[in-house]
Amino acid sequence: MEAFDDFGVGLSSSPADVGYCKYHVQLEKMMGEFLKKESCIIFNMGYGTNATTIPSLMGKGSLIISDSLNHTSIVNGVRAAGSTCKVFKHDDPIHLEQVLRKAIVEAQPRKNRPWRKILVICEGVYSMEGEISHLKEIVQVCKKYKAYVYLDEAHSIGAMGATGRGITEHAGVDTSEVDVMMGTFTKSFGGMGGYIAGSKDLIEHIRKNSSGSIYGNSMSPVICKQIIRALDLIANSEIGAKKIKALKDNSNYFRKGLTNLGLQVLGDYDSPVMPILLYNPTKIAAFSRECLKRGLAVVSVGFPATPIISSRARFCISAGHTKKSLDFALGVIDEVAGLMNLRYAENWSG
């Protein structure tokens, strides 16, 4: 309400004009400090953060190497950049090294000149797979070949790591090793929008060159204040520490529960995102309907967000879920899994 009284819901202007108030300054400062980065810039949309930042950093003569399962906002950012793009096998540092080495040897097509710069893009936790990335190994490969690292933490910031600092903390990678740290406020912070944290020079460059910063409306001051409050809780309070622990415990409890039901569960322990495979596209609507009939709303996903024969339902666990609510959900899923023959796990004995 304080932010609403101060500025209203929106500033009707881009940050480059008059859409930049004290709450934006405060949030950027807090987020930079939280990630131990020199500087930070925020955007009103997570999608737009990737879609406008990548073109502001890369262009003709540059090379982007992108994980095969990166989010659409990254894919569209890469397309808009006009750079050469190569893809490495999902979360596979060995294949990344092969792609990088070959690209460096071959250099720019037709020009025979070295690449102006190389950017490798990956995520912290993959949104449709629930997997935790091999960040440490990916960073090692990038350092060896002097490629920049761009990390999207939409699903890991505020969720992974002992203090919620994300995948770098979880994987034991110093944030100084990651050149461009991107994330969203849509998940753990209960707000909306995105951020890029990095060196002072990097952030100044983005501020002056990204279309999201120059032409897009700035983040609502009310949302800013909501995120500031959530970040303060995560970073500086016992409530935050308890929530981080509860999220991990709830996630692992629910993942084990799903696995025990004989479902094909994707991803890793400690990840708050856990998809189960339905495979057959005709089961997408049926699974959703049967769960809803029993009082459980689920998110089911199919083509084009996933390959056509690996349709799935995706559960995102929260620190606020109680054991009772998780058990209720597992009970419903168990019943529907029996009804629809979803017990696909190979080693499930029943």
Smallest gap from Cβ 320 to ligand PLP, in A, equals 19
Q: Tokens at residue 63, please?
A: 């090379």
For position 47 contacting ligand PLP by CB under 6 A, the verdict is yes
* C-alpha distances in Å from residue 159, one per residue of 180, 200, 255, 258: 19, 26, 16, 20
| Residue closer to ligand PLP, measured from CB, 184 or 311 | 184
Please give the residues from 89 up to 108 whose contact with ligand PLP meets the rule CB under 6 A: none
| Residue closer to ligand PLP, measured from CB, 39 or 73 | 73
The count of residues interacting with ligand PLP (CB under 6 A) is 14
Element at 218 (helix H, strand E): none
Smallest gap from Cβ 295 to ligand PLP, in A, equals 26
For position 184 contacting ligand PLP by CB under 6 A, the verdict is yes
For position 220 contacting ligand PLP by CB under 6 A, the verdict is no
Residue span binding ligand PLP (CB under 6 A) among the ranges 36-44, 114-122, 149-157, 323-331: 149-157
| Residue closer to ligand PLP, measured from CB, 167 or 337 | 167
* C-alpha distances in Å from residue 128, one per residue of 39, 149, 184, 273, 291: 30, 22, 16, 8, 20
- Alpha-carbon Rg for the chain, nearest whole angstrom, is 21
Distance CA 274, CA 110 (A): 44
Contact 132, 270 (CB under 8 A): yes
Distance CA 52, CA 14 (A): 14
Smallest gap from Cβ 47 to ligand PLP, in A, equals 4
| Residue closer to ligand PLP, measured from CB, 127 or 288 | 127
Contact 44, 192 (CB under 8 A): yes
Q: Which of 14, 56, 73, 156 binds ligand PLP (CB under 6 A)?
A: 73
For position 129 contacting ligand PLP by CB under 6 A, the verdict is no
Contact 60, 82 (CB under 8 A): yes
Which stretches of the chain bind ligand PLP, using CB under 6 A?
45-47, 50, 71, 73, 123, 127, 152, 154-155, 184, 186, 194
